[in-house]
A and B are shown apart, each in its own frame.
Chain A
């Protein structure tokens, strides 16, 4: 056997390569957006679900505040939720599930970059372009409801930004893990749908955490659902703080480790499914 040197022992992760390839990934993302103009419309509609929730809760709180949430609070909460949802959305579960089942994962496995790491950076590269949707929506909202404008303290904004990054990582990792189930089960997407129903309730997506019954929110506050969306929102409006952000960081570590183990085992099984 040829001695290929120490560097050759390296198995692909490719994070460094992808940082340098970011300009290319950006172009790929923007070209994708241009190619999917029709899907943009659907995307805009789905981005506005928090606004539907805003309208509902706005009506419900017309008579007086609910659990300390007045109309302006609901307006701020769901506006920030919409922004965070846009900044943390990913699609790796669909992509991975499809790639495993169709075998299109194979060519990707032979590139010197881990396909999941590639997807992570691809998702990251697409985020700036989502502003195209977000900025006009926000401008419209401010005109409609000037009371959503508020000025959080500087430190809250800083913690918020860290928390958004962690929420992005948690959301992506959870999806990647559900996507990897396709290595073992045909019904992986069904399992993900069940997860999505739970997520909608416990993430703060349709109900703010503060409005859930006490014992439920006592538990849900520390689960990955909330870590993937609600924490940064509540940080910014002053209803969560450093302990919740620390829990997010903990989930990133746990999920990343679980994901690594699943990936190593899943790849060995892959051949049996459809390589």
Chain B
């Protein structure tokens, strides 16, 4: 087991400030606080080499949890062990075994070519020069960033910059990767490349990957295991398929450009196609009845899109 979290909670004390100048002056002398429970009694274990996705609406507590796992935030209650260390102590050996990539924050030196940032990280992490050269070559080849190594970071596109951030974050060969929205703002093509890289990196090195994302595609393509955090509590821990089966077990049978008579079998027209929504068990029976009458139609069976599954899941929770 590489990560062990038991009863983790985080409560922020935020000052309450009245409106306008009067409110500001008042809060200067008599500051009122309000407690916000960002994470409540969360427990889970992660094995070495797993790829795990944290999913949840904005403000659900995903990033707070990730920050406690990486040592940036001190938990209010509960225990966290990552690679055998308490993250909040931020001891050197712990820092060498993890990395955190934040899609919205960067560590590359803005006005210099990425190579300078890489060299600096090499020095700071005390990576042996031969190992550094080897790792750098591998990462550069995997991400195909050879041509941009000499350009100042400020001249790179968002996607190129994220690729360089990943290189900088991985030069010390960490065992645990915390990725906070690594594909945010990237175009679809670049998202695919970053996902592919993370997947390859995980399988070739055996490093553990913990990822948060707003893009369902990241989760669907990358993380077989899903932790759903909602309003600070862990609501689901398991595979994506199992979650879909539970929340949205129905199938959509789509008959492309199908005849209007399909209405007799419960189909409704949608954008020129005929569509029926059925339970998983009923799917085969319905398919054969369609095909027996119209053997030549083009037919497809779809699960509900992941976005819809999650929207329904979170709605279910608040209802």
List CB contacts (< 8 Å) of B113-135 with chain A: 116, 119-126
Complex alpha-carbon distance, A24 and B125, angstroms: 13
Say yes or no: is B13 at the interface (Cβ < 8 Å to chain A): yes
A31/B112 contact (C-beta < 8 A), A11-B89, A14-B124, A112-B95 known: yes
Say yes or no: is B73 at the interface (Cβ < 8 Å to chain A): yes
Say yes or no: is A44 at the interface (Cβ < 8 Å to chain B): no
A28/B107 contact (C-beta < 8 A), A4-B85, A17-B126, A112-B95 known: no
Query: Which A residues touch B14, using CB under 8 A?
Result: 272
Query: Which A residues touch B94, using CB under 8 A?
Result: 8
Q: Which single residue of chain A is at the shortest CB-CB distance from B100?
A: A110
Query: Which A residues touch B196, using CB under 8 A?
Result: none
Which of B64-72, B229-237, B290-298 forms contacts with chain A?
B64-72
Complex alpha-carbon distance, A5 and B92, angstroms: 12
Query: Which B residues touch A31, using CB under 8 A?
Result: 111-112, 116
Say yes or no: is B109 at the interface (Cβ < 8 Å to chain A): yes
Say yes or no: is A47 at the interface (Cβ < 8 Å to chain B): no
Query: Which A residues touch B239, using CB under 8 A?
Result: none
Complex alpha-carbon distance, A115 and B295, angstroms: 70
Contact A109 B72 (CB under 8 A): yes
Say yes or no: is B105 at the interface (Cβ < 8 Å to chain A): yes
Residue from B85, B112, B125 within 8 A of A112 (CB atoms):
B125
Complex alpha-carbon distance, A10 and B89, angstroms: 9
Q: Which single residue of chain B is at the shortest CB-CB distance from A4?
A: B93
Contact B124 A17 (CB under 8 A): yes
Q: Which single residue of chain A is at the shortest CB-CB distance from B99?
A: A110
Query: Which A residues touch B91, using CB under 8 A?
Result: 4, 8-11
Q: Which single residue of chain A is at the shortest CB-CB distance from B121?
A: A111
Say yes or no: is A259 at the interface (Cβ < 8 Å to chain B): no
- Whole-angstrom distance from the CB of B183 to the nearest CB of chain A? 18
Say yes or no: is B90 at the interface (Cβ < 8 Å to chain A): yes
Q: Which single residue of chain A is at the shortest CB-CB distance from B4?
A: A1
Complex alpha-carbon distance, A18 and B121, angstroms: 11
Say yes or no: is A195 at the interface (Cβ < 8 Å to chain B): no
Say yes or no: is A104 at the interface (Cβ < 8 Å to chain B): yes
Say yes or no: is A162 at the interface (Cβ < 8 Å to chain B): no
Complex alpha-carbon distance, A27 and B102, angstroms: 26
Contact A106 B102 (CB under 8 A): yes
Instruction: Report the count of interface residues on A (CB-CB < 8 A).
Output: 39
- Whole-angstrom distance from the CB of B105 to the nearest CB of chain A? 6
- Whole-angstrom distance from the CB of A219 to the nearest CB of chain B? 31
Residue from B84, B105, B116, B119 within 8 A of A4 (CB atoms):
B84
Say yes or no: is B214 at the interface (Cβ < 8 Å to chain A): no
Contact A271 B96 (CB under 8 A): no
Complex alpha-carbon distance, A25 and B92, angstroms: 21
- Whole-angstrom distance from the CB of A270 to the nearest CB of chain B? 8
Contact A28 B124 (CB under 8 A): no
Say yes or no: is B106 at the interface (Cβ < 8 Å to chain A): yes
- Whole-angstrom distance from the CB of B45 to the nearest CB of chain A? 14
- Whole-angstrom distance from the CB of A96 to the nearest CB of chain B? 16
Say yes or no: is A256 at the interface (Cβ < 8 Å to chain B): no
Query: Which A residues touch B121, using CB under 8 A?
Result: 111
List CB contacts (< 8 Å) of A10-46 with chain B: 10-12, 14, 17-18, 20-21, 24-25, 27-28, 31-32, 35-36
Complex alpha-carbon distance, A141 and B116, angstroms: 37
- Whole-angstrom distance from the CB of B177 to the nearest CB of chain A? 12
Contact B98 A110 (CB under 8 A): yes
Binary interface encoding of chain A residues 99-140 relative to chain B, with 1 for a CB under 8 A from any of its CBs, else 0: 000011011111111000010000000000000000000000
Residue from B13, B70, B123 within 8 A of A24 (CB atoms):
B123
Binary interface encoding of chain B residues 54-98 relative to chain A, with 1 for a CB under 8 A from any of its CBs, else 0: 000000000000010011111000000101110001111111101
Query: Which B residues touch A109, using CB under 8 A?
Result: 71-72, 90
Query: Which A residues touch B12, using CB under 8 A?
Result: 271-272
Which of A2, A7, A110, A268 has most chain B Cβ within 10 Å? A110
Show the binding face of A for B, using Cβ within 8 Å.
1-2, 4-5, 7-12, 14, 17-18, 20-21, 24-25, 27-28, 31-32, 35-36, 103-104, 106-113, 118, 268, 270-272, 275
Q: A8-B93, A28-B116, A35-B112 are in contact. List 8 more A-B contacts (CB 8 A).
A: A4-B91, A7-B92, A9-B91, A11-B89, A20-B123, A28-B120, A32-B111, A112-B92
17 contacts between A and B (CB under 8 A): A2-B84, A8-B93, A11-B89, A21-B123, A21-B124, A24-B120, A27-B119, A31-B116, A32-B109, A35-B112, A106-B102, A107-B100, A110-B99, A111-B95, A111-B125, A113-B124, A272-B14
